[in-house]
Amino acid sequence: MARHPMRVVTRRTGLSPDLLRAWERRYDVVTPSRTEGGRRLYSDTDIERLRLLYRATLAGRSIGLVAELPTEALIALVRQDAAADADAEAEHASRAAQTRDGDAPLGAADYLADAMRAIERLDATALEATLRRATIALSSIALLDGLLVPLLEDVGAHWREGTLRPVHEHLASMMVRRALDGVVESASPPLATASVVVATPTGQIHELGALLVAASAATEGWRVTYLGPDLPAEDIAECAVRTRARAVALSVVYPTGDPVVGDELRRLRAALPKRTALLVGGAATPSYSAVLTAIGAVQLDDLTGLRVALRKLRRARRRRPT
């Protein structure tokens, strides 16, 4: 009976070595033999079972729910999923044909489903085309809140569960970034009087949240200066002063509760003009709540909160006596 090393298994199944080891350790999905040196060797039967398990998880099932199924049941399950996917593709094609006739426009959920299928297949061309169509067809709020944010959340959840690999997450991030860059470029009015600087502070290297903020501000009619991630307080403040920014918007995602980030927030607020509002949002925001409250920053829960804050600032500016 043929025996195969892990590199052959990962190539034939699509599983990463780390995920394969985790499944073996946590769920005992297969029991490979070992060489005298302790290296794993897998049979053809092992590889087929792993391939089926991976296909089942790509359909949305947790590995914990399918790990104990016999191989025959997995085969039936994967066939059912394939049939369901074929039906979904046919339905999508039908909806797309109707859309071309002007009868049934696609919504954000439809584009989200199409984008996830493209990511699972690692089909960059299809993903880019889906996001481009959505950018044209959807309102700015539907595009951001109904498609791009849920897409990033879904990809992150599947990556943490092990049903998507880092390559899937990287592809999604790259294409979403490209879409957001386009929104910022096309929506930001060059003659807008309200200016906002968008960045992430020192130690915060995840920038997709900041790009979502920049795109949202642009669609609200603000002139956006996007600085990118991991910038010291002094640089952000200098840009805000030079551009006469009415607001600075920061995204904080990871790490949480970092004293360095807390100090940067204090320094930034001290360096900004009093009239410049400091808006902070992102997954890590609650961990800096005490600092943000102390310095008088506006804490944002989501993009809706950002829009509300930006609109309040514009109204306040109009009411300000000249």
Residue ranges of domains in the chain: 1-104, 106-187, 190-319
Amino acid residing at 141 = I
User: Higher confidence at residue 90 or residue 240?
Assistant: 240
Residue that is written with structure tokens 């309102």 in the block:
139
pLDDT of amino acid 90: 59
User: What is the three-class DSSP state of 4?
Assistant: strand
Length reported for the chain: 322
Burial (CB < 10 A; 0-12, 13-18, 19+), residue 202, is: buried
Q: Say whether pLDDT at 200 is over 90.
A: yes
Residue 137 corresponds to which tokens in the numbers above? 């067809």
Tell me the pLDDT tens digit for each residue of 136-182. 888 888 999 999 999 999 998 888 888 888 889 889 999 999 899 88
At 94-131, the pLDDT tens digits run: 555 555 455 555 789 999 999 999 999 888 888 988 99
**The model's pTM:** 0.67
CATH class of 106-187: mainly alpha
Is the pLDDT assigned to residue 249 strictly greater than 90?
yes
The pLDDT of residue 321 is 52
Over pLDDT 90: what percentage of the chain? 56
pLDDT at 61 exceeding the cut of 70: yes
Q: Which CATH number fits domain 190-319: 3.40.50.280, 2.30.30.100, 1.20.1070.10, 3.90.180.10?
A: 3.40.50.280
Structure tokens at 168: 């899937």
pLDDT confidence of residue 91: 59
Question: Per-residue pLDDT averaged across 270-279, rounded?
Answer: 96
**Spatial separation of the C-alpha atoms in residues 313 and 125, rounded to whole Å:** 40
- For the chain, percent of residues with pLDDT exceeding 70: 89
What integer best gives the mean pLDDT of the chain?
87
- How crowded is residue 47: how many other Cβ atoms within 10 Å of its Cβ? 19
What is the reported pLDDT for 222? 92
- pLDDT, residue 322, reads 46
Fold of 1-104: Multidrug-efflux Transporter Regulator; Chain: A; Domain 2 (1.10.1660)
Q: pLDDT band for 272, please (50, 70, 90 cuts).
A: very high
